[in-house]
Structures are given as structure tokens and as C-alpha cells.
Structure 1
Amino acid sequence: MTQRFVARLWRDIRGVSAIEFALVAPVVFILVLGTLEMALDMIVDASVQIAAQQASRIGLTTANPASGTRADQAQTVVNNVLGRWRSIGGTVTITTLNYGSYNNVGSTNYQANMGNFGDVVSYNIAVTIPGFSGIPQLFGVKSMTFQRNYIVQNEK
């Protein structure tokens, strides 16, 4: 009797699709979330690129704006572009280093300002955010940093 029961159970195909779904669904779910995570990370990376380009353009001109300073104006532009990432727990860092000339780039010979006409200035913009989906945390990544550095020579 038990041999017939086991043989009949072995041939029974009812519920196979439910078992297959239970085995495959977690993998597919993680792949979909991972794809969304990558897409959102690429959006963050592109916005950091845009913010760094706009900040370096403001500093590049060396012309003082009608109100405030160039540094204030650059800060406002960066905040407009990257402010949404602060709302999800991200931090935005802006560093401006005036090296004076290209020969000093990378050395400790700099001032923390936007420089004057002819100065070589490095604009460093970074955004550190936690993951969107929780997938990075599964792999031990607590936060991600997206960074852009622009080195320009100021003009009039």
C-alpha cells in the first residue's frame, strides 16, 4: 500500500507550478529591486554631475553677482539640484580648493576659496545616501557616495 501511495504521489503533478513559483519568486524579486536600485543610483550620479558642472561654471566667471557672493550662488545651485537627496537622508558636501596654478593641484598648497582671475580651482561635490531598496545593505553596503571633481581655471 505504501509503495502504491508513493508511486502515485511521485506521478502527481498538481501544485508543481506553486512550488516552482516559490523557488523562483525571491530571485526575480531581488533582480527587479536590484535593477530599480541601479537606476536610482544612476539618477543620483547624474544629478551630482550636473551640480558640479553648474557650480564650476558659476565660480569660473569670477564676476560677483548682484546679491551675495559667488560661493553663496554656487551653494544655492548645488542645493537646488541635490536638495531632494537630503530629504531621503543623504548628505551633500561641497568643497572648493584654490590651488593658484596647475602645478599645485593635488598638493597641500591651496586655500579654501573660489579664487580670483587666473586661479586654478577644484570643485568637489559629493552626495552620500543610504540605499533605496535595501539591496546594498544585503551585501554590507550601508551608504553610497557619489562624487565629482572639477578643476577649472577662472576667467573674467
Structure 2
Amino acid sequence: MKMKPLLDRCRQDFLPRIARDSRGMSSIEFALVGPVVIFLTLGTVELALDMIVDASVQIAAQAASRVGLTTVDPASGTRADQAKRIVMAIVGRWQNIGGTVSISTLNYGTYSNVGTSNYQANMGNLGDVVSYNIAVTIPGFSGIPKLFGVKSMTFQRNYLVQNEK
């Protein structure tokens, strides 16, 4: 009987045995699927936090416009100061993560002036049409936006209201 070379015998024995062996398969599957799952989870958390920021900007703009509508000066300070305090109480926390908050009011006087350069930067008087503009710019929470070239995100709301007469 003729003996087969050692390499042939190892190949005949090794390949079928390794094909049946399933040890370590979970590690390989995790190495392939794990990064995708982690990326999707971080993306979902990023989206949820961005939606929270967007909702807080919406709430802040509504609250600021309500303060201006009444045209009644508060007991201390001005309406503009009170509106700024309310806005900062709602969206000021986004400055803690490196964000910026921008608040502006434009008094157009009448609806026909809206969209023109005919305005004053104040909260207006009785019957004036005023635009309340709130913007919050923040970096991403998880770093996922930076992977796609987005360095910062801006959430903005503009409310156009007529002060009470």
C-alpha cells in the first residue's frame, strides 16, 4: 500500500473537520453585525435628541410671542427682558453642550411691511405686527453628523403675530 504525502492527508482530514466546526461563529457574526447595530443605535439616539432640541425651540418661540402679544410691561424689567428670560429658561441648556442661542424681534408695524426692510428691532406697540425669531445652533450629540460632514445643526422658529390692541 502506497502512503499519501503528509500534506494530502492533512488536507483531506482538516478541511472537512473545519467545515463542520462551528466554534467561534458567534464572535465572527458579532464582529460583522455589531458595528452596524451600534451605528444604528447611536443614530437613533442622535435623531431623538435633535427632535427634543427642535421641540424646545418651538416651545420657546411660542412662549416669547405670547409675552409680546400682551404689550403689558411686567412689574420688573421690560417685555423684551421677560421674553428673553423665558426663552433662555427653555433653550438655554443647549449652550451647555457648546450651542448658541439667538433671539431677535422685528417690528414691521403692519402686515404689508412683512418681508421688506421696513422694520424696527423691537417688540412693538399696540397693534404692531412683530416677528419673533429664535435660533439654536448645536454640534451633534453623538458624532454621527460629523461622519456625514455636518459640523453643526441650526434649529430655528419664526413667529409672526400682531400685538393686542
TM range (shorter): over 0.9
How far off is 1:67 after superposition?
Answer: 1.1
- Letter in structure 2 aligned against 1:104: N
**Unaligned segments of structure 1, at least 5 residues:** none
2:62 corresponds to 1:53: yes
User: Which one of the candidate residues 107, 121, 127 is aligned to 2:136?
Assistant: 127
User: Which one of the candidate residues 17, 28, 48 is aligned to 1:8?
Assistant: 17
2:7 alignment counterpart? none
* DSSP 3-state at the match of 1:87: helix
* DSSP 3-state at the match of 1:81: helix
How far apart in 2 are the matches of 1:4 and 1:78? 74
How far apart in 1 are the matches of 2:114 and 2:19? 73
How far apart in 2 are the matches of 1:151 and 1:24? 49
2:101 alignment counterpart? 92
TM-score by length of 2: 0.91
How far apart in 2 are the matches of 1:53 and 1:89? 24
How far off is 1:20 after superposition?
Answer: 0.4
Considering only CA atoms, is the larger Rg found in Structure 1 or Structure 2? 2
How far apart in 2 are the matches of 1:38 and 1:18? 30
Which whole-Å deviations, capped at 9, do the CAs of 1:98-152 have from their partners, x for residues lacking one? 1111111111111111111111000000000000111111111111111110000
How far apart in 2 are the matches of 1:151 and 1:109? 15
2:90 alignment counterpart? 81
Count residues with an aligned counterpart.
156
How far apart in 2 are the matches of 1:20 and 1:3? 27
Which whole-Å deviations, capped at 9, do the CAs of 1:31-65 have from their partners, x for residues lacking one? 11111111111111111011000000001111111
Which consecutive aligned stretches of 4+ in structure 1 deviate over 3 angstroms post-superposition? none
2:83 corresponds to 1:69: no
Over the aligned positions, Cα root-mean-square deviation in angstroms equals: 1.0
Which whole-Å deviations, capped at 9, do the CAs of 1:58-91 have from their partners, x for residues lacking one? 0111111111111011010011111110111110
User: Which one of the candidate residues 35, 39, 54 is aligned to 1:30?
Assistant: 39
* DSSP 3-state at the match of 1:155: coil
TM-score by length of 1: 0.96
How far off is 1:2 after superposition?
Answer: 2.2
